[in-house]
Chains A and B, each alone.
Chain A
């Protein structure tokens, strides 16, 4: 209780302070990757494969090299062959080493063939046209079914790739996790339902595409200024791919224009660095929007089958989940995204003793899937929550009641936490905070659930319905992810906070500053944040897996507490009182006993210039022993045009438990943004391919992300809980919001018109076809 009482008094945490980079961003200051102009910079461009699957028989670059202004051309014939993964994950990466800077083979339309560095973009593009490549075209496969069929072409037949589950059968990764006895579970169940849901290729579409500038500092060290979520992984992976000692590389992440997972991947840094090294000159590379769609990363398209067995009273007794994931031409994040389909969903309903999660991630000759906000959970929840809706109907139960009966509570656990980790076994964990019950209650009230659910409304051709879904995620990767922070005190009582953590627009620099400011008793303005520079900031895995507030935030908290201790010690000498009697707040150290005080500036001057001179500073690291899940209840109201099949989401309500929000407005922003991306998944977003594997809609006109007119009225509610292991009670919020819209909208459509949409996006054609088939 004392802790809670103390937390209620927070002066910075829980407040909507001004974003520390806000002024710079609203003024358009030159803080993004491409906002620097270095003299003598070359433009790098990539030659992409026109074939879905082919061997490169020969490459003739003579004409291109003869073009004035061409500085360098790289291809498999003139670079070292080193296998690596482009997945920016902790070492050793649980993704196969199946990628090369340039390979003898191409595996999808858009795969890398060669790269040019030239004096201008125009010259580089002309040079690409002059490169003559002879291909031996190979049979290609465009779906997991084709890829798994007997006699299918082997996509990764190279001998030097490692970590592939079964290359001969195009299986990048596989999981099989049984708990209890699933068959017995179903036979003991009173009701069994099954749902198979499918998500197509979709892309993150950050408004800033991938971009990188590689150059040399005054000492000839390679500097990579890049739009990345994972600067430290970039440094390690580029060092490996190019055979460079790591200390020769510095990676700087400036402000970046959104990531959502696609920038957890090394897609340009390796090429730009190789071109810079070969030419000795700065090289700038930026993906066109078309390249961003095809050559960056996508969400793993997936088919997920969920079978639920329940007792008559609604208690779940058995859950089987089978996932078939399409990882595309390379296996980036193949195993871990697949694992997360089960590990982030099954614990939500922990009452079933019999579980079976199994699946495969399969290579195809299509673009490369990778990390995308939600990371498998999005695919899993679509099927799980549609199946739950169906189960509720079969049981004659309200969908909320079914969730209340089965969802995990504080103090409870699930065997899945231990069984499935990040590409290996996980760790047992007890959920310590869960306000999902309250989220369900608040969300139901806001949307008017019981009233709207009890009667279907129909006005002419428009049918109206409400649907709901639940989801959880994690907060960082248990036992693997490490974040570190350094805090140094300046003599005037201000501080420098150095973090490897990577703010990709989420506001994490601000949140980490708030945590430090709270402990150090100063306003956020007295903390200068410097983040994501591998030369100057301590290590951090980067921004992924909903980790920064919880993992990096705890590192900041620990560093700040140590700095606080050092401050109190110096102040104790000055005030001639024991440190235990001193308190730090309002930029003062005050004695609780005598009321005497010294200012932080006086303490700073004392330590820096006067007595026992030393730098007041601390570095702390944190690896999470647990990954507390945030929970969210989603509700939406849709209108379905029964003549055209058009679905309009009219209202969306989400009530989320992210622990104590450090910055409520930023937390809301995460949730709102994730929901809108989820609505895009549900209604419009899908990359389309020709029968030769060529992407047909790789532009923002034909691939439709939601605009301001496509977005319904969204209400988000942050339902507070107190996560005892989190900094000031915080958990994560970045990803969980994207898991709800697909199933909630599908379930609302079912309520409106009685047909289940199980293939995203729910386009008018699909809705109309479903109405004609089942309606």
Chain B
């Protein structure tokens, strides 16, 4: 079956397999920032934005994004043009192995799109479905609070 959807600002018209997950589709399309950590929706490494909402692509059928707008980390920024959230993660030392980072940044993006002045507790609650085994979360929370500050200062896109 073929579906239309928007991926990082570009229209896609692609074949999908019956029962294929969004994770599988996105990785097939070269979006390697979308990581598989568990395939059961528990770790959050595969998080992407669908119409601005953070979803777990491993337990979302590819067919569900027909006609929708999908954003992966590739669509947020690039090495030569970092998004402020990406800058903030670097600045705060929030990245160790980097495997949970794409999902973490996109979850943070969703939070900050709704609330640009979150408390640390609100940040912790927002990322509680994104597991990180390296950092202990403290610097990730710092990074998101820093990005929120930048957003309030108008440094955003």
Query: By the criterion CB–CB under 8 Å, are B79 and A27 in contact?
Result: yes
**A205 to B43 alpha-carbon distance, docked (Å):** 11
Query: By the criterion CB–CB under 8 Å, are B124 and A25 in contact?
Result: no
User: Which of A19, A206, A707 meets B95, CB within 8 Å?
Assistant: A19
Given A700-B131, A714-B136, also A26-B98 (CB < 8 A): yes
- Give 1 or 0 for each of A503-542: 1 = CB within 8 Å of chain B CB: 0111100000000000000000000000000000000000
**A26 to B98 alpha-carbon distance, docked (Å):** 7
List residues of chain B with CB within 8 A of the CB of A22: 90, 95
Which of A24, A29, A206, A708 has the most chain B CB atoms inside 10 A of its CB?
A708
Minimum CB distance partner of A256 in chain B: B97
Give, as a whole number of angstroms, the nearest-CB distance from B106 to chain A: 10
User: Which of A18, A206, A207, A700 meets B90, CB within 8 Å?
Assistant: A18
Assign chain A's interface to a size class. 35 or more
Given A19-B95, A208-B97, A699-B40, also A258-B133 (CB < 8 A): yes
Given A506-B96, A672-B139, also A288-B33 (CB < 8 A): no
Query: By the criterion CB–CB under 8 Å, are B101 and A26 in contact?
Result: yes
Give, as a whole number of angstroms, the nearest-CB distance from A440 to chain B: 22
Q: Is B99 interfacial (CB 8 A cutoff)?
A: yes
For chain B residues 39-86, which have a beta carbon within 8 Å of chain A?
39-40, 42-43, 45, 72-74, 77-79, 82, 86
Query: By the criterion CB–CB under 8 Å, are A23 and B32 in contact?
Result: no
Minimum CB distance partner of B78 in chain A: A27
Which of A256, A665, A672, A675 has the most chain B CB atoms inside 10 A of its CB?
A672
Query: By the criterion CB–CB under 8 Å, are A707 and B129 in contact?
Result: yes
Which of A27, A289, A675 has the most chain B CB atoms inside 10 A of its CB?
A27
Query: By the criterion CB–CB under 8 Å, are B129 and A208 in contact?
Result: no
Query: By the criterion CB–CB under 8 Å, are A28 and B93 in contact?
Result: no
Minimum CB distance partner of B88 in chain A: A26
**A674 to B129 alpha-carbon distance, docked (Å):** 20
List residues of chain B with CB within 8 A of the CB of A21: 98
User: Which of B30, B98, B132, B139 meets A255, CB within 8 Å?
Assistant: B98
Query: By the criterion CB–CB under 8 Å, are A665 and B45 in contact?
Result: no
Query: By the criterion CB–CB under 8 Å, are A257 and B136 in contact?
Result: no
Chain B interface residue count, CB cutoff 8 Å, equals: 52
For chain A residues 451-493, which have a beta carbon within 8 Å of chain B?
none
List residues of chain A with CB within 8 A of the CB of B105: 26
List residues of chain B with CB within 8 A of the CB of A506: 96
For chain A residues 643-691, which have a beta carbon within 8 Å of chain B?
665-666, 668-669, 672-677
Q: Is A189 interfacial (CB 8 A cutoff)?
A: no
Minimum CB distance partner of B74 in chain A: A28
Q: Is A387 interfacial (CB 8 A cutoff)?
A: no
Which of A26, A30, A255, A705 has the most chain B CB atoms inside 10 A of its CB?
A26
Query: By the criterion CB–CB under 8 Å, are A24 and B79 in contact?
Result: yes
Which of B36, B43, B90, B93 has the most chain A CB atoms inside 10 A of its CB?
B93
Given A28-B72, A673-B135, also A289-B96 (CB < 8 A): no
Query: By the criterion CB–CB under 8 Å, are B133 and A205 in contact?
Result: yes
Give, as a whole number of angstroms, the nearest-CB distance from A604 to chain B: 26
Q: Is A35 interfacial (CB 8 A cutoff)?
A: yes
Query: By the criterion CB–CB under 8 Å, are A26 and B40 in contact?
Result: no
**A35 to B73 alpha-carbon distance, docked (Å):** 14
Q: Is A179 interfacial (CB 8 A cutoff)?
A: no
List residues of chain B with CB within 8 A of the CB of A705: 131, 133
Given A22-B90, A257-B98, also A29-B136 (CB < 8 A): no
List residues of chain A with CB within 8 A of the CB of B100: 207, 257
Q: Is A260 interfacial (CB 8 A cutoff)?
A: yes
Q: Is B125 interfacial (CB 8 A cutoff)?
A: yes
Minimum CB distance partner of B126 in chain A: A708
Give, as a whole number of angstroms, the nearest-CB distance from A290 to chain B: 9
Query: By the criterion CB–CB under 8 Å, are A289 and B38 in contact?
Result: yes
List residues of chain A with CB within 8 A of the CB of B132: 207, 708
**A208 to B43 alpha-carbon distance, docked (Å):** 10
Given A26-B82, A700-B131, also A669-B99 (CB < 8 A): no
New A-B contacts (7) at CB < 8 Å, excluding given A707-B131, A711-B124: A22-B95, A23-B79, A208-B99, A257-B98, A506-B96, A701-B42, A708-B125
9 A-B pairs whose Cβ atoms sit less than 8 Å apart in the complex: A19-B93, A19-B95, A206-B97, A207-B35, A209-B37, A505-B96, A665-B139, A668-B139, A707-B131
